[in-house]
Amino acid sequence: MEKQKKTNDDVLEPPINFSMVEDGIFRSGFPQPANFPFLRSLNLRSIIYLCPEPYPEENLEFLRSQNIQLLQFGIEGKTDPAILIPNDTILEALKILIDVRNHPVLIHCKRGKHRTGCLVGCLRKFQNWCLSSVFEEYQRFAGVKSRPTDLRFIEAFDMMRLRQCLYSIIYQYQGYGSNKRRLVYRDENLQKPQTMKV
């Protein structure tokens, strides 16, 4: 009996709708305490949380214990088509997502379907995926709850804003003959994510 209990404790249970997006980028629904051992195995550096609700204290304690940075972008969950996804918020989340200094990173919302699907869909557009493949991936996770408004948002999202931001990053060398580089953003007037000290 003791041996069987130990075997069950060794099973790593991923959060709902968990998947690898790219090397160092993962997506899922909201992690539960039973998922913490699995998340520990990913050696996460950051979590991009796309809901406006406060992060539960139990989850915050886990993040603190693992030295994981929480970056919250409060996007309202919506079923009303009149409520639009904020372009600037997705743009800021994308800037965090493509910065390898934040990897390995987990993106999640409540179920890992709509808000997460929109962010991943915009990432895929940035990666020059064809729109039909972007939509297919979104629908694979959203299932019957797929929202036409989300698909329209992804289709209409202006990638040039992200590309212009990336083009504005310049490398400045510190002193003569130094090979040390640092990234400097010229575009600092956009909304910043809510970073929580954990």
Which of 152, 118, 157 lies closest to 137 in space, CA to CA? 118
pLDDT higher than threshold 90 for residue 1: no
Report the alpha-carbon distance of residue 30 to residue 57 in Å, rounded: 14
pTM above threshold 0.85: no
| The predicted structure's pLDDT at residue 151 | 84
| The predicted structure's pLDDT at residue 108 | 93
CA atoms within 13 A on the CB side of 146: 15
Question: Cβ–Cβ contacts within 10 Å for residue 8, how many?
Answer: 7
Q: What is the mean pLDDT of residues 80-95?
A: 75
78 or 29: whose pLDDT is higher?
29
pLDDT per residue as tens digits for the range 144-159: 777 777 888 888 887 7
Tell the residue number behind the tokens 């990638």, with chain if given: 159
Catalytic residue among 109, 118, 122, 165: 109
Using an 8 Å Cβ cutoff, are 49 and 77 in contact? no
| The predicted structure's pLDDT at residue 80 | 59
Give me the chain's average pLDDT, please: 77
Q: What is the mean pLDDT of residues 69-77?
A: 84
Q: Band the pLDDT of 83: cuts 50, 70, 90.
A: low
Buried/exposed code over 23-34 (b: 16+ C-beta within 10 A; e: otherwise): eebbbbbbbeee
Buried/exposed code over 157-177 (b: 16+ C-beta within 10 A; e: otherwise): beeebbeebeeeeeeeeeeee
Q: Confirm whether 122 is a catalytic residue.
A: no
158 or 42: whose pLDDT is higher?
42
Question: Per DSSP, what are the bridge partners of residue 48?
Answer: 71, 107
Q: Band the pLDDT of 195: cuts 50, 70, 90.
A: low
